Amino acid sequence: MFIHSDRIFDTLVDTNKIYVSLKDRFYLREYKNIDGKSPVMLSITGNKKRERILLEISVVPEHWQSDIQRVIPNSKENQDINLLLDNIKSKLTHIKTSYRLAERVLTPEMLRKEFINGMPRLRFTAFFEMALKEEKVMMKQGSYNRHHSVLKKIKEYDDEITFMDLDHDWFKKYKRHLTKLGNAKTTIAGNMASIKKFLGIAVKSGIKLKINLDELEVGSTKGNRTSLSPFELKRLADYYFSNYINESYRLVLGYFLFSCMTGLRISDVQNLTRRNFMDGYITFISQKTSKDQSIALNDTAKKIIDHEPLLFVKKFADQHINDELKKIMKFIGINKVVSFHVARHTFATSFLRAGGKVEKLQLLLGHSSLSQTMIYAHIVNEDANSEIFLLDKLF
């Protein structure tokens, strides 16, 4: 905050006149529709400026009481209209109050934007949604989908949460909510990282928070590299090729098993069409790294594709795929927390168990450094060490 003379430059607050007096009123347009009704307008004035908003409300002109800006409550329809006008008035008061408490100047233009856009400078979800649309052109589709999924969860939990209500207690309750939904710690950490990102954007745009962002703990977003054993993979494959699997499960499991055979991320699988398959190879541009990749299809991958004609034709949302995978694992009796990314880990560990070289695996996974790929070598080594105790059964 910089002080100069009698002005304090902090979100353009003037110490001589911190608050601009705003007036709002409802009035009717001098126009009648085919039903003989006139639309209700909202006028906002202040500091010699005026904004008008056409509301989605029409009334019989003869029922309008201009002195109290309401309709005569002589019918249920008119009573409902008055309730709508009361709610609009309450919303306007809420915006004015929030700006006053945050010591921010509110102009007629800003009040109009807040009202029309769902109060983005007050409601976190409204701001998140607006900022995500603006950031979309700069994001890869996979990143956008992750942030959109986080936004959806918040809206389902507390769509009306304001920036001033976001405190450490709210975040504790929200984390508990995500845990009850069955989200893993890494998923919750990913959600928190996304929230923190958009809170940071809000701060840069001049919105004040109740908490210090530096104190908001995200947690580790690195998973424990869960993978499926060869036995578990075989059980899933048998189920996929069986006659008693339903179409929805077969499609989801087909995509998952295809990734187990190729190591592709869900963002790349979602982008593939059957045109990407030529002469026994998949050719595509990685959504995460933007690199051109060409991977040979092994015989099992080809069988998976051939078995289901709708594979890479009919697609599902990422969240739906992960939800269905949980149901499939439960049905098969695999007691592991499985998301689509487990397929990539399964491919890596299966490749090394089969005798593949870690340097080749790096190329197939598209890792920029060998150290990223070496994690899978360590996992396979740990598995080998644990299996040495199988010899004890001989004695």
Domain boundaries of the chain, sorted by first residue: 2-116, 124-215, 230-392
Which of the residue ranges 73-77, 221-225, 266-270, 285-289 would you say has the lowest mean pLDDT? 221-225
Residue 6, pLDDT score:
33
Q: Give the chain's end-to-end CA distance (angstroms, integer).
A: 77
The pLDDT mean for the chain works out to 84
CA distance 163 to 120: 10
CA distance 251 to 239: 12
CA distance 79 to 86: 11
Can you give the pTM of this predicted structure? 0.55
Q: Which of 98-112, 195-209, 255-269 has the highest mean pLDDT?
A: 255-269
Residue 384, pLDDT score:
55
CA distance 365 to 81: 60
User: What CATH code would you report for 230-392?
Assistant: 1.10.443.10
Spell out the residues 6+ positions from residue 272 whose beta carbon is closer than 8 angstroms to its own: 264, 282, 284, 312
Which pLDDT tens digit goes with each residue over 29-83? 888 888 899 999 999 998 889 999 888 889 999 999 999 999 999 999 999 999 9
> Is-same-fold flag (124-215; 230-392)?
no
How many alpha carbons lie under 13 Å from residue 324 in its C-beta half-sphere? 19
CA distance 81 to 256: 52
Q: Which CATH architecture has domain 124-215?
A: Orthogonal Bundle (1.10)
